[in-house]
Amino acid sequence: MLASRKRPSPLLCTLTLILILLFYHSSNANSIYQHWSTTLDERPVHIPANSTLGFGAVVVISKEGSDRRHALLQSANVTDVDLTIPKQPTWTEGDLQRFINGQENAQRGSILAWLGHRNALQWYAIMLCTLWRIADLCAQVPRLWTRDRPRPGRRC
C-alpha cells in the first residue's frame, strides 16, 4: 500500500509570500516612514473646546460613597476636565421591583445602573427645561419692559 503524499504547495506559497513581503518592506521601509512622519507633522492638533471636552457637561453616574468616585475625581482634576455628578437617590426595593416589572434573571447591580442612568437623564431634562425657561424669560424681558414702561403723558 502506498502512503499518501502531502503536497508542499501551500507551504511553498506561504514561504514565497513571506519572502516577497520582507523584500518589499525592507526596500520601502524608509519611504513609508518618511511619508508617515510628514503626514503626522502636518495634521492639526485637536484640543478640546473647554474643560467639558466641547460638550455642555460631562455627566458621571456615581452613587455617594462609591469606591471609584475618589479616583475618578482625582483623574478629572489632573486632566482639568469638569465632571458633573448628579445626586443619586437612595433606591428602595419598590423602585427595583417597578423597574424589573416581572422580568426574570434581573441582577440588582444592573438594575441600579439603569436607574442611575435614568436619574441622570431626568437631571439633564430638568437642566434643559430650566435653561429654556431662562432663555424664554430673557427673550420676554425687553418686550415686557417696553410694554409696561410708563410713557410720557400716560398716567400710571
Quick: pLDDT tens for 74-86.
Answer: 988 888 888 889 8
State the average pLDDT over residues 87-111. 89
Identify the H or E element spanning 141.
helix 108-148
Conformational region of residue 42, where left means phi above 0, alpha means psi within -120 to 50, and beta covers everything else = alpha
Is 84 strand, coil or helix?
A: strand
Quick: pLDDT tens for 7-27.
Answer: 667 777 787 878 777 666 666
Is 147 strand, coil or helix?
A: helix
Predicted TM-score (pTM) of the model is: 0.53
